[in-house]
Amino acid sequence: MYEISMIESICIKAKGDESMLKRMILGVSSLVVGATVGLATDVSAAPAPPAPPLTSLNVVKVESQLGGVEFIGLNNLSTVKDHGGSYLYIYTNEMGYGRNPIAQMSGQKLKKVDSKMIDINGDRTVDGWEYKWDASGQQNGQFKYQNTSTNAPWNTLSTSLNIK
């Protein structure tokens, strides 16, 4: 049994065809040069500014089997409709970036089931987040939400809504 390296195998197959061997070597060396140039080229953009701190938190929508979809105004303390049934989802909006979102319904911690980026002015920069919280199994109670800013001033904001 003889062990034949890949290079030796290529050379054996290319024996008698010197131009093919030269083309293969040129191709491999071009790949190496291209990879080296690509690694050495600095294509980074200017450093991005820090993420904006949290400036607001709001409950914007409640959705349930019994109450359907109810949009919540900025100063509402309670839902108008009675909610509950087989599912209950609560939507929050936050402007800025938070690092520790906590949502509770009647003292029970809720699971975040969806998130969407908010881009206010269409500049393709994330200005905030919409979160969807699952409170299924709950019929009514107080929803509380809080989050802490990812950077200075590291403020913690909170909001609440009584759900009928």
145-163 pLDDT per residue, tens: 999 999 889 999 999 999 9
Enter the tokens of residue 84. Answer: 């509950």
What span, in angstroms and rounded, lies between the C-alpha atoms of 63 and 81?
A: 10
Task: Give residue 37's pLDDT band: very low, low, confident or very high (50, 70, 90).
Answer: very low
Share of the chain above pLDDT 90, in %: 62
User: In angstroms, how far apart are the furthest CA atoms of the chain?
Assistant: 87
Q: Could you tell me the two tokens for 5? A: 């390296």
* pLDDT for 86: 96
Q: Do you know the residue count of the chain? A: 164
Domains and CATH numbers, the chain: 6-40 (no CATH), 56-163 (2.60.40.2870)
The 3-class secondary structure across 91-125, one letter per residue, is EEEEECCECCCEEEECCEECEEEEEEEECCCCCCC
